[in-house]
Chains A and B, each alone.
Chain A
């Protein structure tokens, strides 16, 4: 009985919403998962002495000033500099400028978000990265 009613609910759901919407939501969730995994892979890759990914400093609203840029590892500086130049950009736009793969830039950008240097905002299916200079007063 229980199973039948469960199926009924899904059927109702499917008939009320367009299947395309559901697929889009699944895709969006998969993309989010993918980004999270990329970040985890990247963190592990860049901290061999530090196998615990939770050791990445999570500083809320850390300032991305030039001295911070100077002290960053080369691979992150390149990404951070690109975000400094464009006021807002997607991983794809950053990748175009740095000439590195989109997935790589996406991982670096998400790492910068975790470190508190940049912010991330979703608009539809696209994720935009930016420096929130005004909020950091």
Chain B
């Protein structure tokens, strides 16, 4: 069963963060105890999206071995009311922290992988979290690959853009395959609305084309863009089609029905 979910993409701007936040929020709404992690240390964004305040200890500190995980996670449950629990472990957005994280060497990255892998024991086993969701930075970087190695399931967000398609295919073949990761592709910002009505056909096409199962297809919603990151759709807009599509994807992940 997939307990650690990483959301990744080849290019930036594919909707990773939006996907990660909404997947985590949907899981929390479904009554699960969830922690959402920001592993995009070069361009942290969860801090702003979740409107977190008074954060003193960051995920950076945990990876730097200067605190335990309990100190680095923030209870955001009031932001996502429901029967579940919603926690976040945020990346430090200060320029100094970003500079510090950009200058780490291979040995630090190796120890960081060890710290990320240890979350399975500290959070899933000991603190009874149901799911950990990793929001990563795009492309092949240490922090993202560390997240992928630690994850049980990788959600890959992609758009139809030429700059994205080829890179995504290569990444799927040369990265996820090597690590033998279970993967689901999310085709995001789909412009042709008729495609969603031809779901089965698209599913077969995607599987043949990208050689991985399709987790979902998200049309380009102007409302999502217009929201300017001010809403968590899964929470604030429960009846929006975007929320329903995410709910469907989460159901597939929860029931292990991605094929």
| A interface residues (Cβ-Cβ under 8 A, vs B) | 63-70, 74, 77-78, 81, 84-85, 131, 133-134, 136-137
Known: A69-B179, A81-B149. 10 other contacts (CB 8 A): A63-B109, A66-B109, A67-B142, A84-B117, A131-B110, A131-B114, A133-B111, A133-B114, A134-B111, A137-B107
Report if A69-B149 is in contact (Cβ < 8 Å); known contacts: A74-B178, A133-B111, A134-B111.
yes
Q: Are B109 and A85 in contact (CB under 8 A)?
A: no
Q: Are A65 and B107 in contact (CB under 8 A)?
A: yes
In the assembled complex, the CB of B212 is this many whole angstroms from the nearest CB of chain A, namely 18
Q: Are B109 and A65 in contact (CB under 8 A)?
A: yes
Residue of B nearest to A85 (CB): B117
Q: Collect the chain B residues with CB atoms within 8 Å of residue A74's CB.
A: 178
Report if A67-B106 is in contact (Cβ < 8 Å); known contacts: A77-B178, A81-B179, A84-B149.
yes
Q: Collect the chain B residues with CB atoms within 8 Å of residue A78's CB.
A: 180
Which applies to chain A's interface (DSSP): helix, strand, loop or mixed? helix
Q: Are B145 and A63 in contact (CB under 8 A)?
A: no
In the assembled complex, the CB of A74 is this many whole angstroms from the nearest CB of chain B, namely 7
Report if A63-B107 is in contact (Cβ < 8 Å); known contacts: A70-B175, A77-B178.
yes
In the assembled complex, the CB of B186 is this many whole angstroms from the nearest CB of chain A, namely 23
Interface residues on B, range: 10 to 19
Q: Are A136 and B145 in contact (CB under 8 A)?
A: no
* 14 A-B interface contacts by CB (under 8 A): A63-B106, A64-B110, A65-B107, A65-B110, A65-B142, A66-B146, A66-B149, A67-B109, A70-B145, A77-B178, A84-B117, A133-B110, A133-B114, A137-B111
Report if A68-B106 is in contact (Cβ < 8 Å); known contacts: A74-B178, A77-B178, A81-B179.
yes
Q: Collect the chain A residues with CB atoms within 8 Å of residue B180's CB.
A: 78, 81
Residue-wise interface mask of B (104-121) relative to A, using a CB-CB cutoff of 8 A (1 in contact, 0 not)? 001101110110010000
Q: Collect the chain B residues with CB atoms within 8 Å of residue A81's CB.
A: 149, 179-180
Residue-wise interface mask of B (167-195) relative to A, using a CB-CB cutoff of 8 A (1 in contact, 0 not)? 00000000100111000000000000000
Q: Are B109 and A136 in contact (CB under 8 A)?
A: no
A64 to B111, CA, bound (A): 9
A81 to B176, CA, bound (A): 13
Cβ-neighbour of A67 out of B111, B114, B117, B145 (below 8 A): B145
In the assembled complex, the CB of B158 is this many whole angstroms from the nearest CB of chain A, namely 21
Q: Collect the chain A residues with CB atoms within 8 Å of residue B106's CB.
A: 63, 65, 67-68
Q: Collect the chain A residues with CB atoms within 8 Å of residue B110's CB.
A: 63-65, 131, 133, 136
Cβ-neighbour of B113 out of A70, A77, A84, A137 (below 8 A): A84
Residue of A nearest to B143 (CB): A66
A81 to B178, CA, bound (A): 11
Interface positions of B from 81 to 139, Cβ below 8 Å from A: 106-107, 109-111, 113-114, 117
A74 to B177, CA, bound (A): 11
